[in-house]
Amino acid sequence: MVTAAQQTASAPDAARTFPKGFLWGSATASYQIEGAAAEDGRTPSIWDTYARTPGRVRNGDTGDIATDHYHRWREDVALMAELGLGAYRFSLAWTRVQPTGRGPAVQKGLDFYRRLADDLLEKGIQPVATLYHWDLPQELEDAGGWPERATAERFAEYAALAADALGDRVKTWTTLNEPWCSAFLGYGSGVHAPGRTDPVAALRAAHHLNLAHGLAVQALRDRVRADAQCSVTLNIHHVRPLTGSDADADAVRRIDALANRVFTGPMLQGAYPEDLFKDTAALTDWSFVQDDDLRRIHQPLDFLGVNYYTPTLVSEADGSGTHTSDGHGRSTHTPWPGAERVAFHQPPGDTTAMGWAVDPTGLYDLLTRLASDFPRLPLVITENGAAFDDYADPSGQVNDPARIAYVRDHLAAVHRAIVDGVDVRGYFLWSLLDNFEWAHGYGRRFGAVYVDYPTGTRIPKASARWYSEVARTGVLPGA
């Protein structure tokens, strides 16, 4: 990855050229693509259970087969090589590695990831491994899940198993992907697995996810090669006020605490924000935070992974907005404990198939804020992309000009941030493949590669070819 000192751009003809060494990649998640739900020792995760529960997922879709990546991984790696990707961010399925969340690893599961990493390296693609992308072993959920401290301890043991098996191949590690979703969608609004709706459990889950991150970083550092990099990926919300009123500014503060600072505070600064404690005092006294937890959570990181799709627009609740906006599913329960006086609004402008506003200025503003708050911490865009209603035309082509425009404009925002001094070192397009999109099932297509689900056929979309050229040259064309 490029250093901050290398990030310069001054001549007009270099205005859209990214720094030498900038990392270009794409990303996926295990439950969304692998399938093979009961093969080689894999047992149910919370997403297997959730997806098989009637009414939870659109059309009753599950990840039992998904895109069948478990059997077609060689084909998928060949596609990445054809597209000229420099890196591939994938997640390990915890239940494929350690089916019950306890005890020894299953070698067949580890062998799958060993083969994947080896093939990536052979083709010059850097493997970037995420330990957790939401698929908690069901047995650990049955024992209490993320609201319980023991789950964080089990996660550290799992991280050690993964590091021992893959540490000689993988140089870049991510502990958690979007712990906000795991805590607040999984245990607050219930629109993600495990589907619980308890605000106190959501806050407890957030803390134990923080603790799991810190313990996992320690386990990784003890086992992986000296030049390995450790990180976490957060879906930092770029929160904007509806108006310039003091009340709307306070709404921003409340959501920023629940969405962002609940994780960046302990992980990056070693303390929870005091206003978060005050806002949630009617729910909990936070006594589940034990002595020495914050020291364990606050581990040095090599970079911060940033996922961005759309900004968040809020106001003081006055009846004009909703109280449960999260972009992932409707619920009568809020994912925002202690923020009952906050309303959410649809930002202006075009939207994707998810209903998310297209606004690359939010990404620029977010990156500059992070650079100001954490000036010595490099950033990597670990997810950015858009879902649209793609289809293969009679000639078998998939043209997706809206996705090209979305990615181009967001990359322009990243480039602008780099020119303005923000240390951004890479970009991972979400997603490599169309796949199981959580509660939306197979009804939302984020992929650069189209998947015909009945046959599994892969068809690179026009956006894949466009992104391939950007990744090969490091040059972003104009509109």
The whole-number pLDDT of residue 440 equals 96
- Please identify which of the residues 34, 148, 316, 383 carries the catalytic annotation: 383
Dist. CA 258–CA 342, nearest whole Å: 12
The whole-number pLDDT of residue 57 equals 97
Token representation of residue 191? 């629109």
> What is the dihedral sign for C-alpha 143, 149, 153, 159?
positive
List the strands of the sheet with 342-345, edge to edge: 239-241, 312-316, 342-345
The whole-number pLDDT of residue 327 equals 64
Using a 10 angstrom Cβ sphere, with 0-12 exposed, 13-18 middle and 19 or more buried, the burial of residue 389 is exposed
Contacts of 431 (CB under 8 A, 6+ apart): 26, 27, 28, 32, 385, 446, 447, 448
pTM of the predicted structure, to 2 decimals: 0.96
Dist. CA 290–CA 250, nearest whole Å: 29
Question: Is 75 an annotated catalytic residue?
Answer: no
pLDDT along the chain (479 residues), means of 10: 40 69 98 98 98 97 98 98 98 98 97 98 98 98 98 98 98 98 98 98 99 99 96 98 98 98 98 98 98 98 98 88 62 94 94 97 98 98 98 97 98 98 98 97 98 98 98 92
Collapse the DSSP code of 240 into the 3-class scheme (helix H, G, I; strand E, B; otherwise coil) and give the result: strand
- Please identify which of the residues 34, 141, 148, 178 carries the catalytic annotation: 178
Dist. CA 113–CA 92, nearest whole Å: 8
The whole-number pLDDT of residue 330 equals 84
Amino acid at site 340: E
Question: Is 34 an annotated catalytic residue?
Answer: no
